[in-house]
Amino acid sequence: MKGRVLVLMSGGVDSTVAAFLLKSAGYEVEGLTFWFWSFPGAPDYQGRTKCCSLDLTALAAAELGIPHRTIDASAEFYKRVLRDFISRYRRGETPNPCGRCNRLLRFPLAFEYAEKHGFDFVATGHHARIVRGEGGAPELHRGIEPKKDQSYFLYGLSAHDLERLLFPVGGMRKAEVFALARAHHLHAARLPESQDLCFTVDGRFDFLFSNQDLAPGPIIDRRGRVLGEHKGLFRYTIGQRRGLGIAAAAPLYVVGIDPEKNALIVGSEKDLYAPGLIASEVSFISGTPPEEGAKLSAKIRYRSSAAPCTFHPLSDDRFAVRFDTPQRAITPGQIVALYDGDRLLGGGTIEKAIFDRV
């Protein structure tokens, strides 16, 4: 027996195949699902969200012949993730709750449970890879399929975490994962990929906000002229063009959000490009930031490519990067992940775009 592995299971194909691979390799495998969605004011999810299904996780575990349990951590999810999500929207940001959840909740809870119950490793279905670098230290690298790589969401892990983690599908392409699930007649092979935030209902999350948050207000240009009316600031993000309801001679995009004035600011596409950003709430896998002037690449949203940049530490909890080429729609609240080639170094939360020299 190679050791005991706790697999975080959602019911989807990636975590199901991860558990299958580990069991096939001779590990003693158990499944665990955290349920986060019974928070105050939550809709009745009936045990199923965009990324998790209690029925499907139980089915997957039964098909694999492994023990499985569910833990309700909804109170902690609301406290550590959703409160921040709501407050950031109220500050005019567009938060990314997945990175915060991984960093402050999902992985810490998993490691705590694993240690308490005698597991040697924790595994997930993330498309990322752990590679041994010089001296044998673990490094976190991208998954081999660029469009499915999920290392971006894992910037908050530490080298100590990597010693205890397994990512069995990180070296596989998504098509290979589905093919393996089909070949072994796993129900997860029939499921579509989850795309939206886990707690949305039909793509909406307005139930998290008060009537005041939903209040309409002016859409203004950069000179302060009123061009229209928005339907609640949380419905918009930097770079958005559709849904503004404004007739103009040239395309208009959201270039700023002013919560104090409840105003949405629009401008031309050229107004979206910035040469740099400042990030806070930073985390580095090695525990040490890169050196001043380090040449890296930075990814400012999950679906974007990492862009070449220069790193500038500002304090223990803040850094700046200056891009070789200005980047479009740098959005406060989103994750910025830093890479050296395929190796993820760490990252932080975008505080603001900077339009002058770093």
Residue-wise pLDDT for 315-337, tens only, equals 999 999 999 999 999 999 999 99
Contact (CB, 8 A) for 123 and 8: yes
How far apart are alpha carbons 126 and 268 in whole angstroms?
Answer: 37
Contact (CB, 8 A) for 123 and 18: yes
Retrieve residue 217's tokens: 């207000």
Which residue out of 52, 98, 198, 309 is catalytically annotated?
198
Asked which of 102-116, 243-257, 260-274, 294-308 is least confident by mean pLDDT, the reply is 243-257
The amino acid that residue 221 corresponds to is D
How far apart are alpha carbons 291 and 282 in whole angstroms?
Answer: 15
**For 197-212, how does the pLDDT look when each residue is reduced to its tens digit (9 = 90+)?**
888 888 888 899 988 8
Kindly tell me if the per-residue pLDDT of 248 is higher than 90: no
Report the run of H or E that residue 163 belongs to, with start and end: helix 159-163
Report helix, strand or coil for 79. Answer: helix
Closest CA to 188 of 177, 197, 199: 177
Question: Which residues are bridge partners to 30 per DSSP?
Answer: 6
The amino acid that residue 8 corresponds to is L
Kindly tell me if the per-residue pLDDT of 40 is higher than 80: yes
pLDDT (mean) for 242-247: 89
Which residue out of 51, 52, 101, 309 is catalytically annotated?
101
Kindly tell me if the per-residue pLDDT of 142 is higher than 70: yes
pLDDT at 192: 82
pLDDT (mean) for 54-74: 96
pLDDT at 1: 67
Kindly tell me if the per-residue pLDDT of 49 is higher than 90: no
Domains of the chain: 4-125+168-190 (3.40.50.620), 210-267 (2.30.30.280)
Kindly tell me if the per-residue pLDDT of 358 is higher than 60: no
Active site residue 198: yes
pLDDT (mean) for 279-286: 97
Active site residue 51: no
Q: Which long-range contacts (CB under 8 A, 24 or more apart) does 286-292 make?
A: 286/137, 286/159, 286/345, 286/346, 287/158, 287/159, 289/313, 289/319, 289/346, 290/338, 290/340, 290/345
pLDDT (mean) for 238-251: 90
Kindly tell me if the per-residue pLDDT of 342 is higher than 90: yes
